[in-house]
Amino acid sequence: MDGTEQHRRGGQPTLRDVAERAGVSAMTASRVLRDDPQVLPATRERVRAAAAALGYRPNEVARSLRLGRGSGLVGLVVTNLANPFYSRLALGVDSVVVKDGLKTVIGNTGQDPHAERELVADLVARRVDGIIAVPAGADQRHLAAAVAEGVPVVLASRPPEGFAADCVLVDDFGGAHDATARLVRRGHRRIGFLGSPPAVHTGTERLRGYAAALSAAGLAVDDRLVRQGQTEPHEATRAAADLLALREPPTALFCSNNRNTIGAFRAIRALRSSGGPDVALAGFDDFELADALGLPLTLVAYDSDELGRAAARLLATRLNAGGPGTATRGRPVPPPRQVVVSTSLVEYEGGR
């Protein structure tokens, strides 16, 4: 069975298919597709017509590797593609890397460290030029291994653990502290907390900011009002409903991310519809339609696109410097950098 016949049966067209259709050697077809000016015009026309008819596209990754260049790809590793935060992060990354002729490949880990290890190993095997990762947990040995193999790594939203790398963080502590302090100033003394799994850096820092704001007001953290581990809105709805059903329920809730805020909103709305008391709500991460919920809401806002852009700029600097631990033309590689994205408070429906 010849190459053209194989293509007709559903395979991807190859360089050999193009050559056979044009009636030339594979080497000649390759020269045409590389724009070799020494190939006769009539031959160039036949080869290009054959490539167009077959829908042939060259394997740019393999070609780059043969030429000693990288793959032209940047791996973006995230924990939950269902969260709009990660789509904005990805847009920010892509807006920067595309200027250097790079393309972004996104992988989702689902907060599973094993899936993350496999994904990173696969990206390294595919010779990506660099990796931007939001780690699922504190064990980051696989990311350290990628750096050791010469693949620059930048962490977003969470710092490196056990190895040196560039990172971009949000002011998690400061934002949570400010939002909780605002609830305290409005007279709330029993403030519940809904957060990410304890192993997640952002959840830990935001819990720390919540606790610090209570402490500054002379209030102790009541462990009965703290719920951690919710990653989806339906889990947060159950956790918030449990808090609101306590004998001494909280009068306000602070949520460490948008998924928890959405879930808490549903629990508060259900309580109000059944004649229950009003409960103030504050959360980390602004989100679309937050102004249309119809409940007083305080949100910690920041530019998630900028988080992605900053991570991509750090990666570009690392790539231009020749990668980790090396020097280019006598210039030392800069030490790992940390960028912190600031936060602000946004009020919807007047707050409480």
Tens of each residue's pLDDT in the chain, 352 residues: 444 444 444 567 888 889 999 999 887 888 888 778 888 999 999 999 999 998 887 655 555 544 445 678 999 999 998 888 999 999 999 999 999 889 999 999 998 999 999 999 999 988 899 999 999 888 999 999 999 988 999 999 999 999 999 999 999 999 999 999 999 999 999 999 999 888 888 999 999 999 999 999 999 999 999 999 998 999 999 999 999 999 999 999 999 999 999 999 999 999 999 999 989 999 999 988 888 888 889 999 999 999 999 999 999 999 887 644 333 444 566 789 999 999 999 999 744 4
Q: Catalogue the long-range contacts made by 157-165 (C-beta closer than 8 Å, 24 or more residues apart).
A: 157/89, 157/201, 157/202, 157/307, 158/134, 158/200, 158/201, 158/202, 159/201, 159/338, 160/336, 161/135, 164/324, 164/335, 164/336, 165/324, 165/336
pTM for this model (two decimals): 0.76
Q: What residues does 107 pair with on adjacent strands?
A: 77
> Per the structure block, which two tokens stand in for 343?
């936060």
Both tokens assigned to 350: 């007047």
Tell me how far apart the alpha carbons of residues 192 and 312 are, in angstroms, rounded to a whole number.
36
Q: What is the CA angle 197-106-51, rounded to 5?
A: 165
Cβ atoms within 10 Å of 8's Cβ, excluding its own: 13
CA 15 to chain CA centroid, nearest Å: 36
Tokens encoding 335: 């030490």
Q: What is the pLDDT of residue 60?
A: 52
- Is the distance from CB of 120 to CB of 77 less than 8 angstroms? yes
3-class SS at 245? Answer: coil
Q: Supply 61's token pair.
A: 């990754």
- Give the pLDDT score at 36: 80
- How far apart CA 293 and CA 348 sit, in angstroms, is 9
pLDDT at 316: 93
**Can you name the residues that pair with 327 across neighbouring β-strands?**
332
Q: Spell out the long-range contacts of 159-165 with Cβ–Cβ below 8 A and sequence spacing 24 or more.
A: 159/201, 159/338, 160/336, 161/135, 164/324, 164/335, 164/336, 165/324, 165/336
pLDDT at residue number 322: 63
Residues contacting 3, CB < 8 A, separation 6+? 13, 14, 16, 17, 20
Query: How far is residue 36's CA from residue 273's CA, in Å, rounded to a whole number?
Result: 73
Cβ atoms of 298 and 346 within 8 Å: the answer is: yes
Separation CA 197–CA 66 (nearest Å): 44
Q: How confident is the model at residue 351, as a pLDDT?
A: 43
